[in-house]
Structures are given as C-alpha cells and as structure tokens.
C-alpha cells in the first residue's frame, strides 16, 4: 500500500513553476498579454513540454504570478452533478437553496426525456451503482424547469448531453435549449470506443466540427468538457491538443475541468495561456493532495477511485486563485463548482461559494 500511495504524492519542494513557464516573470506586452509565452516555441510544443514534465501543476505552495484582469466571477455557478440526490428529493426546493446561498447559474446533465435509448441504457447501470434514479429535468418539463429557475433568479447557460442525441435528435435538443436559455450543449467525455488511437481523435474532432455547424444553425454552440484522458502523448501527439487544433473555434468551445486536467498530468494555466479564447466554461473542484492517474485516465474505473480525493473549491492544494485569474483573463465566461456526487452537499455548496465569490481582481 505504501508504494501505491507514493505514486500519487507530490513531494518536490523545488520552484519548478518557472521551468515550464520561464517567461512568467516578464511583464506582458500591451495588447498581447498571452502570446509572450509562445514567442520562442510553438503552441503545440509548449503544451507537449508541460505534459512531459508533470511537476508543472499550479499548487498553493508555489509563488503566485500576478495577473491583471478587469473582472472575476460575477455569477458563480454549480454543475448539478454535484448535488443529484438533493435534486431527486426536492428539485424546486434545491434550486431555491442554491439561490439563497448566492449561486446564479446551473449546468444540467442528462439523460433527458428525448435522449436516445442507447444512451439511456448505458446510463442505467452507472446510475444504479451510484444510487441515482433521476437526471435531466427530474420529472419536470423544460418549461417547468425554466419557471423554477426564473423564480429563483437562476439561469442555465449550458447542458451536458450525449453525441448520439445531438446527432439524431438535435431539433428536440434545440427546442428544449431555447426554452431553458441554454447557449451551450455538449459532452462530458468521448466514449472510449471512439478514442482508441490518434486517428480516432482526428475523426472525433471532425465530428465535433460537423455537430457544431449543425448546432450553429439552431442557435447553439457545441462544448467539449475535458476528462483525464488524452492529455499525454499518444503516437507522437497529445490528443487533446489535436482536438484543440483541428476544431473550429467558432463551432466548438471547451469546458475545462481543472481536477481531471491535473489528474491527467496537464497544467490548467498552461492550457489557458496557450489557447486563449478556446475555454469558455470551467468546472472547479479542488484536490486534497495532488493525484494523477496511474493509467491513461480513460474510463470510469480510473475516475471513481479519485473521487475521495476531491475537495471543496479552495479547500485543497490546487492554486485555484491563479487558475481562476488566468481563466478570467483568457476568456472563460462561466465558472461552475462541480464536485462530483459531493458527500456533504450543504458543506460543499456553502464553503465553495464562500471561496469562489471572494476571488478579487489582481491589482
């Protein structure tokens, strides 16, 4: 057991933040505050360097680089996968509770009434294993959900859904999204069978563009939420970089999950700086101690064992102050607390909101 624990523990005390970002100490060039990091190496090589040196993770014990920004988190949100059981017990009451705490935005997750049967069938055993019986609208219609949101001063900019439903039932998705006020709809993870090699990643990137174009015609944007896979080199390339480079920024936006990105041996700050404007949404949770996947991070059997190492926002070792300031400067618009299946939902909601709402602009 001691060896297993050691795999996850970060023991270095060296000031390695400058190894991956050697230009961090230089002042930004007016009008080009981000590109100064990329003048000596290409964007692809910059991220590849970071993946090859997993010590480059922003931790609270490291010096914080000051970042100028005009605004921070004005509307703190919550991904509803944080509190699914509360929603099952009392959907309307839970929305009122979120508003009372101070949350302004929520992100929904499926399946929904119009989700394709194949996805519903694959979700059922997962839901059963984690003790869930509902999702989506929790027995309400989209109109009823919108009325509940409106009554509590909440909005829902985004939803998570599956590829099959987006590809075959987009009209139904668009109708519900219009009612609910969604701007973004997309996937939480690429199905494992669609990402077995680099050619698969090329094909899925092209699929994202195709779906994004169709969604644009109905007033939506496609979002892709990174998980912990695809962040280290595969066949000479980093798959997530390939997705970023191959997809059209006008059609495909990214939702960064800082926990899973870190677990996958990548640095959120480096990605935000290297791809300004691509990340529009963010999932925020902290780590009790720095952990990384022993494998490729490619499936739930590797994700679920890391759940116990999740912490409330601001309650762990990640340097969320730095991440959030850089995120606000590089185009992130929606910041969601998302601590998967929070074991103490009330504590998580209150403590995380207190932290996230306290973040102030750098001077």
Model confidence pTM above 0.85:
no
CA distance 240 to 44: 10
Residue 363 maps to a domain: no
Which two tokens mark 143?
Answer: 């109109």
Domain residue limits at 232: 2-356
- For tokens 């995120």, name the residue: 327
Residue 361 maps to a domain: no
CA distance 92 to 140: 10
pLDDT of residue 56: 46
Give the chain's residues under pLDDT 70: 1-72, 360-363
Residue (of 12, 94, 128) closest to 59 by Cα position: 12
pLDDT of residue 314: 97
Helices first, then strands: H and E counts in the chain:
16, 10
pLDDT of residue 48: 45
CA distance 214 to 173: 12
Transcribe 262-313 into DSSP letters: HHTT--HHHHHHHSTTTEEEEEE-EESS----SS---SHHHHGGGGGGEE-T
Residue 240 maps to a domain: yes
Residue 201 CB neighbour total at 10 angstroms = 24
pLDDT of residue 166: 98
Residue 230 maps to a domain: yes
- The count of structural domains within the chain is 1
Tell the burial category of 121 from Cβ atoms under 10 Å away from its Cβ (0-12, 13-18, 19+).
exposed
Residue 27 CB neighbour total at 10 angstroms = 8
Which two tokens mark 54?
Answer: 């997993």
Parallel, antiparallel or unpaired: strands 286-287 and 310-311: antiparallel
pLDDT of residue 172: 98
pLDDT of residue 32: 28
Residue 114 maps to a domain: yes
Q: At a CB cut-off of 8 Å and minimum separation 6, what does 196 contact?
A: none
pLDDT of residue 58: 54
Is residue 87 within 8 A of residue 149, CB to CB? The reply is no
Residue 113, phi then psi, degrees to nearest 5: -60, -25
Transcribe 173-198 into DSSP letters: HHHHHHHHT-SEEEESS--GGG-SSH
- The SS3 call for residue 59 is strand
pLDDT of residue 208: 98
pLDDT of residue 360: 57
Is residue 291 within 8 A of residue 261, CB to CB? The reply is no
Reported residue count of the chain is 363
Alpha-carbon distance values, 328 to 66, 72, 315, 332, 360 (Å): 13, 6, 20, 5, 11
CATH number reported for the structural domain that contains residue 181 in this entry? 3.20.20.150
Residue 214 maps to a domain: yes
Is residue 131 within 8 A of residue 85, CB to CB? The reply is yes
In tens, the pLDDT along 78-136 reads 999 999 999 999 999 999 999 999 999 999 999 999 999 999 999 999 899 889 999 99
Q: Which residues of 89-109 are buried (b: 16+ CB within 10 A; e: fewer)?
A: eebbebbebbbebebbbbbbb
Residue 27 maps to a domain: yes
pLDDT of residue 295: 87
Please count the CA atoms within 13 angstroms of the CA of 53 that sit on its side-chain side.
15
Residue 175 maps to a domain: yes
């Amino acid at each position: 057991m001691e060896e297993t624990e050691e795999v996850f523990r970060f023991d270095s005390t060296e000031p390695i933040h400058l190894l991956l970002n050697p230009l961090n100490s230089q002042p930004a060039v007016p009008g080009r505050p981000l590109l100064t990091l990329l003048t000596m190496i290409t964007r692809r090589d910059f991220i590849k360097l970071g993946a090859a040196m997993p010590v480059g993770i922003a931790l609270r014990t490291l010096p914080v680089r000051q970042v100028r920004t005009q605004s921070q988190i004005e509307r703190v949100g919550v991904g509803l996968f944080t509190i699914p059981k509360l929603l099952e017990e009392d959907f309307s009451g839970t929305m009122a509770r979120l508003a009372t705490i101070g949350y302004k935005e929520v992100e929904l997750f499926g399946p929904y009434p119009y989700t394709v049967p194949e996805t519903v069938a694959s979700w059922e055993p997962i839901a059963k294993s984690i003790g869930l019986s509902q999702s989506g609208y929790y027995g309400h219609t989209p109109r009823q959900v919108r009325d509940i949101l409106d009554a509590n001063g909440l909005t829902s900019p985004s939803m998570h859904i599956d590829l099959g439903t987006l590809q075959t039932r987009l009209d139904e998705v668009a109708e519900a999204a219009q009612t609910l006020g969604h701007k973004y709809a997309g996937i939480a993870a690429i199905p494992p069978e669609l990402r077995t090699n680099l050619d698969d990643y090329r094909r899925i990137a092209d699929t994202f563009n195709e779906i994004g174009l169709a969604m644009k015609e109905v007033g939506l944007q496609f979002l892709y939420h990174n998980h912990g896979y695809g962040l280290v080199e595969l066949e000479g390339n980093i798959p997530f970089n390939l997705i970023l480079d191959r997809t059209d920024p006008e059609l495909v936006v990214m939702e960064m999950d800082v926990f899973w990105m870190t677990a996958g041996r990548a640095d959120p700050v480096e990605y935000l700086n290297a791809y300004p404007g691509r990340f529009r949404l963010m999932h925020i949770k902290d780590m009790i101690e720095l952990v990384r996947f022993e494998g490729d991070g490619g499936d739930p059997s590797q994700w679920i064992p890391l759940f116990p190492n999740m912490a409330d926002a601001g309650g762990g070792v990640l340097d969320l102050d730095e991440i959030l300031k850089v995120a606000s400067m590089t185009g992130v618009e929606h910041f969601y607390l998302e601590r998967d299946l929070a074991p103490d939902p009330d504590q998580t909601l209150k403590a995380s909101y207190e932290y996230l709402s306290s973040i102030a602009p750098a001077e």
